[in-house]
């Protein structure tokens, strides 16, 4: 267990069941709100699961080959599984500018900066959620963002495809975007060790945290 700028930086080995992670995150958010715990950046992996955000459409669930769980984050359907780095963010925006749009923009920028450390050019795409790159010349999604903010405490966070089984995405329309593929660091021929990506996230984290207090 370490920290970055006073925030607990936790990396959980193995696979953490989704329901257990959700309960832990919710409890931590309550503790942060009450001033009883530090903020948390939590890196983990889940067993294969599909999660449905608050704007999920039933037509985007093609093949429920894995458990399907409705969750309180924003967004549509997404897949989580081994080889994908999940990052849950329990941060207090009450002391970081109280700007949800700034927060989401900052999370996107953080992932883009971390991927750049690994030689991957990633970008935002107007009108499309998530983090995008090019795979064989075509735009493909490499990272998903789905957050919730409750009483200015953030929950949920982001997922980046490091080396998951990309065929597992075939059971859904990822994020409701049927015309775009998903990709991963492994698929792009980059270093696909979770620890390497974690190091890139840690290196980029201080700038991300500074970015959350957007100017008015």
Active site residues: 175
Residues with Cβ within 8 Å of residue 132, at least 6 apart in sequence: 122, 123, 124, 125, 139, 140, 141, 142, 180
Contact between residue 168 and residue 62 where contact means Cβ atoms under 8 Å apart: no
Q: What is the 3-state composition of the chain as percent helix, strand, coil, each rounded to the nearest 5?
A: 30, 35, 35
Burial class (CB in 10 A: 0-12, 13-18, 19+), 34: exposed
Q: Which DSSP letter does residue 60 get?
A: G
Backbone angles phi, psi at 148, to 5 degrees: -140, 140
């Amino acid at each position: 267990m370490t920290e970055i700028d006073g925030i607990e930086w936790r990396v959980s080995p193995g696979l953490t069941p989704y329901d257990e992670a959700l309960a832990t995150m919710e409890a931590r958010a309550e503790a942060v709100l009450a001033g009883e715990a530090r903020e948390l950046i939590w890196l983990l992996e889940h067993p294969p699961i599909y999660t449905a955000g608050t704007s999920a459409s039933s037509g985007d669930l093609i093949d429920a080959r894995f458990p399907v769980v409705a969750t309180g984050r924003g967004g549509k359907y997404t897949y989580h599984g081994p080889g994908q780095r999940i990052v849950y963010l329990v941060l207090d925006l009450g002391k970081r500018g109280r700007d949800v749009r700034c927060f989401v923009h900052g999370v996107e920028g953080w992932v883009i900066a971390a991927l750049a450390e690994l030689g991957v050019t990633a970008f935002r795409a107007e009108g499309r959620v998530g983090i995008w790159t090019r795979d064989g010349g075509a735009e493909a999604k490499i990272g998903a963002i789905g957050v919730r903010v409750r009483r200015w405490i953030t929950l949920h966070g982001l997922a980046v495809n490091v080396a998951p089984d990309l065929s597992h995405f075939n059971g859904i329309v990822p994020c409701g975007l049927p015309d775009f593929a998903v990709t991963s660091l492994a698929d792009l021929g980059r270093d696909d060790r979770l620890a390497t990506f974690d190091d890139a996230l840690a290196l980029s984290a201080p700038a991300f945290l500074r970015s959350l207090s957007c100017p008015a």
